[in-house]
Amino acid sequence: MRLYNSLSRQVEDFIPLVEGEVRMYNCGPTVYKRQHIGNFRAFIMADLLRRTLEYQGLNVTQIMNITDVGHLTEDDVVDSQGEDKLQKEAARRQMDPWEIAREEEKNFKEDLALMGIPPAHTYPRATEHIPEMIEMVEGLLAKGLAYEVDGNVYFDITQWPAYGALSGNKLENLEVGASGRVDDRTDKRHPLDFALWKRDEKHLMQWDSPWGRGFPGWHIECSAMARKYLGDTFDIHTGGPDNKFPHHECEIAQSEGCTGKKYVRHWVHCGWLEIGGRKMSKSKGKLYTVPEMLELGYTGRDLRMLMLKQHYRAPLPFDLELLDEAKKMRSKLNNFVTSELRRCADGDAHTEITDAVETTRSRFLAALQDDLNTSVAFAAILELMTTVNRLKPTTSDAELVLNFMSEIDGVFGILDPVEEAADLDADIDALIVERNQARKDRNFQRSDEIRDELQARGIELIDTAQGTEWKKI
């Protein structure tokens, strides 16, 4: 497989460290509020990557952290400033930060499920790995890469000349930007030195450390947890475009500084989600959450479809019209498997269809192996659908194509799950029976109501001489 590596800025061969095994770390959510759909682009990408690797027979270990302390509000500067996001939210909501963290973690996992994202193997919480972080900070102090001033521990950025390799930010350029803030942090040797441990006796979430009570820096959390679950060196680290700098840059400095080994072999970042041409995280436009999107009549899988139509690294413009298109495309695919392929006449298989399935399978795999080229993979599937429909498939063709569609959906995860589809069928059938009875009873008001209700759910009824049939609109 070929995969773009943000560190080398090139598409490279992806070769796992241990044959057949892939160890992958995904920067997870900071659980202080419900994630917006822009955040989910990185998680959908990570899921696609995992499924693509598994489709090729690799065994993937996926770790996604839960940041429940230490992430400060000004997280786009090297030496993050501002308030702890959890603590700030606790004050705003007048709630316990621990309660907020657990509630938002639960919400996050619910949203993942709605997008058809299966759980990672482990979701380590930062607050449950404080000893591992302290150990790493001690290691950095022992090596002279960090220093302590009055209970605060900082990474000494001047000791790490490679800083900036991932993001292309040169230390000299960063210094210019930071100059305005030099005065307010007099305890630091260099204005860009970033905190590994912050002394804070007033923080609502605090721990004992060799440097007094306080809490860890956000970056050291990921370094320590990735190391614990995946080892000093592992295959893939993913994140959103906003994680690249300074978060991942700082992770590299800390981890490689501490272990003396390469930290991550392949860095993978998705592109921005844009609203009105602006990066979503900075945008003043509407940052929908998943429940808000559901209220507008979309599903988590519609959003997934929208994101998979675009290459993961390209900027993705977001508006509801594009989401409508994705929704339509998804119902077309659903309709193909739940309706069109289920109404076939008996007969021999078409060799043309058998051949088309084989060709599509190789094109699909080749596209994904080419740096996750989902749009080419989609095009291959749409072409197959056209071929199949044109040839009027028999039941044996349908069986083959249905199996293939379920195989590729193991990677894309955009079709309605089978259980849901079965529930939907039973539901619709029950309403059709009720409507037929209402018509017999000349209760046209009720029969119209049922038709309208189904219409609103995207189901069209067709009355034929043989009875009532339905299809998805």
Residue ranges that bind Zn ion, judged by CB under 5 A: 27, 222
Count of Cβ atoms closer than 10 Å to residue 300 Cβ: 21
Query: In terms of CB distance, is 222 or 431 closer to Zn ion?
Result: 222
For residue 222, the minimal CB distance to Zn ion (Å) is 3
- Measured CA to CA, the distance from residue 153 to residue 121 in angstroms comes to 32
Which helix or strand (DSSP H or E) is residue 372 part of?
none
- Measured CA to CA, the distance from residue 473 to residue 463 in angstroms comes to 15
Q: What is the DSSP letter of 66?
A: B
Query: In terms of CB distance, is 270 or 275 closer to Zn ion?
Result: 270
For residue 243, the minimal CB distance to Zn ion (Å) is 6
Q: How many CA atoms lie within 13 A of 134 on its CB side?
A: 17
What Å distances lie between residue 470 and 432, 447, 450, 457, 473, CA to CA?
Answer: 9, 15, 13, 12, 9
- φ, ψ of residue 331 to 5 degrees: the values are -70, -30
Query: In terms of CB distance, is 117 or 222 closer to Zn ion?
Result: 222
Outline where DSSP puts E strands in 67-125.
72-74, 81-84
Query: In terms of CB distance, is 58 or 165 closer to Zn ion?
Result: 165
The verdict on whether omega for the bond into residue 246 sits within 30 degrees of 0, i.e. cis, is: yes
Query: In terms of CB distance, is 222 or 236 closer to Zn ion?
Result: 222
154 - beta bridge partners? 147, 195
For residue 147, the minimal CB distance to Zn ion (Å) is 23
Query: In terms of CB distance, is 224 or 432 closer to Zn ion?
Result: 224
- Measured CA to CA, the distance from residue 192 to residue 178 in angstroms comes to 7
For residue 43, the minimal CB distance to Zn ion (Å) is 13
For residue 27, the minimal CB distance to Zn ion (Å) is 3
Query: In terms of CB distance, is 265 or 451 closer to Zn ion?
Result: 265
For residue 199, the minimal CB distance to Zn ion (Å) is 22
What Å distances lie between residue 340 and 59, 326, 328, 390, 415, CA to CA?
Answer: 35, 20, 16, 12, 14
